[in-house]
Amino acid sequence: MQYRRLGRSGLQVSQLSVGSWVTYASQVKVKAAKEMLALAMDRGVNFFDNAEVYASGQSEEVMGQAIKALKWPRLNYIVSTKFYWGLAEPDAKKVTINRKNTLNRKYLMQAIDGSLQRMGLDFIDLVYCHRPDAQTPIEETVHAMSDMISQGKALYWGTSEWSADDIRAAWCVADKHHLHKPVMEQPQYNLFNRKRVEQEYARLYEDIGLGLTTWSPLASGLLTGKYRNGVPKDSRGARKDMDFLVNGLTHDAKNKAVTKLEMVADDLGCTVGQLAIAWASHNPRVSTVITGASKIEQMRDNLDALNVVERLSPDVMDQIDKITRSLAE
């Protein structure tokens, strides 16, 4: 495992990390989470990603309980959470103003307290604004995020799926008022979703030292090849809460490209999924690639992608690019 600085910060994160979206609480309970987190730590992973909205807070609870059971020294691991969507309301008639889809100060300052309680931690290393909020003045959001750090509830803050313009605006507000600046962005990045990382953010890496903790290296499973013949019953795409993914997962041209990528992977002695993870990690602008797994065998396969990174020669990268570039968004 190699470790990379998170942007211009001094924090070092493992090149591969573990996320909990979709899996924790719904598929992965505390016992399984403990086993997989232990394996990941043994393999050198030190960053574990979460979000308030994942399983309506239960994902944070599962991860927190698993980490507590493992009794890791706090200096040995990095955890994150993200705010914007809020928690699901059991009663639809309840007031949701200032509770969901916002980055206003009231919501943010209470959201961090909720996450700390659910995870059983004194502070969270990385906190993200999970989406931009056009209804809240960016100055208000920046001040609130900076205050989380000043109060010792978080160490670094950043954004997720923000435009380059919005990230720069937040950074400039923080710079002008001598506040804690956003350090990282968490965008989707894979062979079919690459323009934001490779083009839109290009100037931010040098201008403000932006670091990246990227998600979905397998394009929600498309890059494993499992959707070439439709949607398997036990797959993510078959879940009712994931039905918005189906059209993308069964995209004919992309699945044909995956078949071609599989031939490249065969030549390298790896799976197409490992090839996709290695490709994302190969980008020096990516601080860490967040991987997900519902079974320990999947986690082993994901982590074995580390062995593929060094095999990605310029010729191999060129082959991959020719197969996927025209389909990338």
Rounded distance between C-alpha atoms, residue 275 and residue 309, angstroms? 8
**CB neighbours (10 Å) of residue 313?**
10
Q: Please compute Rg for the chain using Cα positions.
A: 19
The residues with which 184 forms a beta bridge, in sequence order, are 158, 211
Asked if 294 and 28 touch (Cβ cutoff 8 Å), the reply is yes
Mode of pairing for the β-strands spanning 3-5 and 12-14: antiparallel
The DSSP call for residue 50 is -
How far is the CA of 98 from the CAs of 89, 124, 135, 151, in angstroms?
A: 13, 22, 11, 22
Nearest to 253, CA basis, from 302, 211, 208, 191: 191
CA distance 89 to 77: 32
Q: Which residue has the tokens 């807070």?
A: 57
3-state secondary structure at position 328: coil
**What span, in angstroms and rounded, lies between the C-alpha atoms of 2 and 12?**
9
CA 203/CA 39 separation, integer angstroms: 37
227 catalytically annotated: no
**Of residues 54, 156, 189, 227, which has the active-site annotation?**
54
Tokens encoding 293: 């797994």
Task: Check if the beta carbon of residue 29 is closer than 8 Å to that of residue 310.
Answer: no
Q: Which is it for the CA torsion 157, 214, 67, 74, positive or negative?
A: negative
Q: How far apart are CA 85 and CA 107, in angstroms?
A: 10
Would you name the residues annotated as active-site residues? 54
